[in-house]
Amino acid sequence: MKKIYTKPKTPAVSNSKSFHSPYRSHFIKTLSLASVAVFLSNTSPVSACDTWNVVSTYFGAGANVLKKIPPQYYIKGMVFNDVGSAFDGVNYAFKNIDEEFRKVYQKVNLISTDPLVKQDAAGTITVAANKGGTVVDFANNSHAARVLTGVADAAITPTSNQAVNGSQLYRLGTGVVNSLGGGAGYDKDGNWQAPSFMINLIGGNGNKVEKKEFKSVADAFTGVGNSFVNLDKKVTKLFLDVLGDTFVTQDSAGVIKIGLNKLGNIIDVANVYRQARVITGVGDGAINLTSEQAVNGSQLFKLGLVTMKAFGGGADYKNGKLLSPTFVVKVFDKNGNGTEEKFENVADAFTGVSSSFTNLDQKIENIVINTAGQGLVKQDATSGLITIGGKTSGTKVSIANIDNVARTLSGVNAGSIAASSTDAINGSQLYAMSNVVAGYFGGGAEYKDGNWHAPTFTVKVFDKNGKVAEEKF
């Protein structure tokens, strides 16, 4: 009998779990029974081969009856080599699927009966209110952070535990920026830009002034504090260089004294060529009736500003420019009649007043002559200028009475306050200046009811050990 062979339609699959071995014998037994049936049916060999090919086709999955190759059924990654075991695998897979469905149902039922996120009748939404734990994590399954939006403005109080939103932080940052200055702020990407403070500092020997950048307020104030220490050293060195160690002493309270144990009432700081020197590092001196303290240039500058206001007539410094005053002055004509004239500067105003004096000159001169003869007070007939002791020597004028008691000199017009001025100033000028100076001093300084109330300054200083302490001055 001629043998007929056919190739399996489905190739064998490797790298899979196979149930081939335990079921191959069953497949062979099945084929043997089929062979007996074919033999008994008196089927020709060719027809028998065709029959086996049909059987192989029915088995599928690469089965070949003639070559004794069992089928290979793949179910959920496992290989089954006969129909019976394949159906057992299917039953096993359905059993696992049923178990998975049961677990999913339990989870869904748990979520529906006890959800983490709830909303009560009042509309308040709570998250895991009935659960333990102290952390809520919004990260996704890749542990990447999420953005939480729709957050309302939170209460910002010492006891608040509410989440704040970006706009609140932005407003807070803007307020801090405005307070700090120095270029502090947020860039276009929302990143914080630290401030930068450029401050002129005095070097360690007190002789060199250099500009330094600071990135924080604390560092800037530390730099300023160190400058004050260096400035103090410079002042001390200046006095030592000019007067010598024996003339300069410092007591336990820190007060520096010059020539304490020496006679004399003049301190001369001129150099060997008798040229004047500049004394720097002079603190603001007290300005009051009994003050013996030296004043510095900044104080005089402030007084100069106040003086402009003391002129009146609209005189002022504004945007660095002087606004000229306009004076309305009552003057007397040649007939002694009073009238008003406007003057744009002090000189013209005094010229107008001088013209009035000229018109009254004769009467004044007669009064002076009658009371003091041809004495010390005279008025020039041409210019109207009144002089006292213009023809005599001496450097002092006293208006004390016979008992040497001081008199009040009244009727003094506002004098000129300038570098070369020798004019007397009146009480209203000093009063105006004192009030402004008191305002500049701060520290509670004021001029009230004719009395000067000195300021009190609380200053952080460094002692000889370099420790910071507060002192009141």
pLDDT confidence of residue 237: 67
Angle at 157 between CA 151 and CA 159, to 5 degrees: 100
pLDDT of residue 293: 87
Q: Give the C-alpha separation, 387 to 383, whole Å.
A: 11
pLDDT of residue 178: 72
106-130: pLDDT as tens digits = 666 655 556 677 778 888 888 777 7
Report helix angle 83-113 to 20-40, nearest 10.
Answer: 140
Residue range(s) occupied by CATH 1.20.5 in the chain: 1-114
Task: Answer for the pair 472, 456: CB distance below 8 angstroms, yes or no.
Answer: yes
Handedness of CA 81, 84, 88, 94 (dihedral sign): positive
CB distance 206 to 234 below 8 Å: yes
The confidence score (pLDDT) of residue 356 equals 65
pLDDT tens per residue across span 161-189: 888 888 887 777 777 777 667 677 777 77
> What's the whole-model pTM score?
0.27
The three-state (H, E, C) secondary structure of 389-443, written as one string: CCCCCCCCCCCCCCCCCCCCCCCCCCCCCCCCCCCCCCHHHHHHHHHHHHHHHCC
User: Does the structure show a pLDDT above 70 at 23?
Assistant: no
Annotate 175-199 with b (16+ C-beta within 10 A) or e (fewer).
eebeeeebebbeeeeeeeeebebee
* Residue 198, phi then psi, degrees to nearest 5: -100, 115
Is residue 317 over pLDDT 80? no
Mean pLDDT of 240-268: 76
Look up residue 317 and give its two tokens. 């410094």
Residue 257 has pLDDT above 60, yes or no: yes
Comparison of pLDDT for 399 and 63, the residue scoring more? 399
pLDDT level of residue 329 (50, 70, 90 thresholds): confident
Quick one: CATH architecture of 1-114? Up-down Bundle (1.20)
The per-residue pLDDT for 19 is 42
pLDDT averaged over every residue in the chain:
71
State the average pLDDT over residues 136-142: 85
**pLDDT tens across 230-244, in order?**
666 666 666 666 555
User: Which position has the higher pLDDT, 56 or 18?
Assistant: 56
pLDDT score for 78: 73
Given this model, what pLDDT does residue 17 score? 43
Residue ranges in 245-388 assigned as alpha helix (H) = 297-311, 346-372
